[in-house]
Amino acid sequence: MMSVSRRTFLKTGAAAVAGLTIAPSSILGKSFGHVSPSDKLNIMAVGIGGMGATDIGKMDSQNLIALADVDWSYAKPIFDKYPNAKRYKDYRKMYEEMGKSADAVVVATADHTHAIIAADAITLGKNVYVEKPLTHSIYEARLLKNLAKKYGVVTQMGNWGSSGEGTRKVIQWVQRGEIGEVRKVEAFTDRPIWPQGLQRPEKVDKVPKTLDWDLFIGPAKFRPYNSIYHPWNWRGWWDFGTGALGDMACHILHAAFVALKLGYPSKLQGSSTSLLTDCAPSAQSIKYTFPTRENLPKLALPECEVYWYDGGIKPERPLNLPNGKELNVDGGGVIMYGTKDTLVYGCYGHSPYLLSGREPEYVPGNHEIKDSEHQMDFVRACKESPENRVPTYSDFSEACDLTEMVDIGVLAIRLQSLNKVLEWDGQNMKFLNISPSETMRIMKVDGFSVHNGHPTFNKTFTEPFNALEFANELVKHNYREGWKLPEMPR
């Protein structure tokens, strides 16, 4: 299955970066680990047919030395656009052959392969830019955070609204106490815009010659190819994606998460339209409860409830919201209810305002950029010496915690048939109220037909299975044979 073993390319890469902190000697400046702003980074990218095309397009003032994608038909326009970049299907072979020359890696594959591709790059000493959500599981997010800290590399998640002025305004206004204490936040998105709520297809399609389906599957459990999974529609399938929540919450909830220093939730409830074994539901809602946090200088941080809605569901319109005023801005919106005022903003932190009509002062900081400059902010940080580096917006010290919140929300949905408020120990990544003997079932088929003029419901369920074992596998995946993450740093 694997033409290149992880051990082989890690050994090669480790030798290549021995003695280097950030960049290869070919582009080192006068100070160790520093790249002159006028020099260009050498960048590799994995997953270039979708969002990866946008990301590397923002960085193509640099040297794109190698590109990898499992589907060369889907990736062809990007391969053609950058003819000087060496082409690969297997990122491991690319790392082995080109890792010595590379400074950074862009990862924009399906969610379920983000972590392993990024972790392997970090252990080779490479700076990494990874699309949202960073990971497919909670353990993966914790691992990337710790690896980034251990190796001292530059990191950034692709939730580009985090670099925008709107996000900075929200954080500054809230932490300055402009809306008072916040005990309730509501957020929504107009996604999904891809198919969800589907039963697993029984049909097996012929794999296109240009697609390496085994590589696409990667660490997930193998399943036969069907054209419904790829390209792009993988987002709705649990083995590959995280649904509308995973796609959009890192954009929509980022400002609120940072402003309120939410951290780990202590309780979770999930509800949705018909939940099937393999595919995310058409619409869902999640209630997070975050415990009291340490107060900020101008703001107390009491227990806070955060509500998420998708699939066309929106929260109730808040009082004083003008008639005709649309809450959905660029794909979603957030309402933050404070004891003094209510703050509303759109997806990506766009267009924040207070319902009172007040316009609080915004004091620009030392690192002012636009969200359109998000990817180049990553490039900028890669060129700075570690001693003087200004962190990127949404670097892994922050982005991994946000991703954990997203990933645990997915679990709230997938465990809803337990019919309880889930209690979560975030520090230790475990549920506190799922017993070792508890069982659960999930619907396999949700069919409906009419016979002799009468409605007939055809619902079938899985056999009962151990709930705690299932939950633990969602927290930390059991990878397919041949795929393995690095060890968690101590």
What is the per-residue pLDDT for 475?
A: 98
Please state, in angstroms and rounded to a whole number, the distance separating the CA atoms of residues 244 and 309: 9
Residue 2 has pLDDT above 90, yes or no: no
| Strands 454-461, 443-451: pairing kind | antiparallel
Inform me whether the pLDDT recorded for 309 exceeds 50.
yes
Q: Given 3-state DSSP classes, what are the helix, strand and coil percentages for the chain, each rounded to the nearest 5? A: 30, 20, 50
Extract the tokens encoding 181: 């204490």
To which H or E segment does residue 65 belong?
strand 63-68
| Chain segment 66-108, per-residue pLDDT in tens | 999 999 999 999 999 999 999 999 999 999 999 999 999 999 9
Give the residue among 358, 399, 357, 408 at the shortest CA–CA distance from 378.
399
The residue written with tokens 């705690």 in the block is 468
Residue 33 clears pLDDT 70, i.e. is over it: no
Residue 20 confidence (pLDDT): 38
Q: How far apart are CA 130 and CA 91, in angstroms?
A: 14
**Model confidence band, residue 246 (pLDDT cutoffs 50, 70, 90):** very high
Under DSSP, the state recorded for 318 is P
Cβ atoms within 10 Å, residue 148: 23
Angle between helices 51-58 and 374-383 (to 10 degrees): 50
Residue 1 confidence (pLDDT): 36
C-alpha to C-alpha distances, 233 to 68, 215, 238, nearest whole angstrom = 20, 17, 11
**Rounded to whole angstroms, what are the CA distances from 99 to 6, 23, 106, 370?**
13, 11, 13, 31
Question: Residue 227's closest CA among 275, 193, 195?
Answer: 195
Of the candidates 260, 404, 436, 241, which has an alpha carbon nearest to the alpha carbon of residue 338?
A: 260
The average pLDDT across 189-197 equals 95
pLDDT tens by residue, 257-285: 999 999 999 999 999 999 999 999 999 99
Asked whether 352 and 329 are in contact (CB, 8 A), the reply is no
Q: Name the DSSP class of 343.
A: E
The DSSP-derived string for 13-34 is HHHHHTT-SSS-GGG--SSTT-
Q: Which string of DSSP letters, residue by residue, matches 210-234? A: TB-HHHHHTTSPP----TTTSSSGG
Task: Determine the straight-line distance between the first and last CA of the chain, rounded to whole angstroms.
Answer: 31
User: What is the structure's pLDDT at 236?
Assistant: 96
Q: List Cα–Cα distances, 210 to 213, 230, 253, in angstroms.
A: 9, 12, 37
| pLDDT recorded at residue 26 | 39
| pTM greater than 0.85 | yes
Least confident of 37-41, 91-95, 223-227: 37-41
Q: Over the stretch 397-448, which tens digit does the pLDDT of each residue have?
A: 999 999 999 999 999 999 999 999 999 999 999 999 999 999 999 998 887 7
Task: Report the alpha-carbon distance of residue 345 to residue 13 in Å, rounded.
Answer: 44
Residue 322 per-residue DSSP state? P
Would you say residue 133 has pLDDT above 60?
yes
**Domains of the chain as residue ranges with CATH:** 6-162+372-398 (3.40.50.720), 165-367 (3.30.360)
CA distance 27 to 38: 10
| pLDDT attached to residue 36 | 65
143-162 pLDDT per residue, tens: 999 999 999 999 999 999 99
> Of the given ranges (11-15, 250-254, 323-327, 428-432), which has the lowest mean pLDDT?
11-15
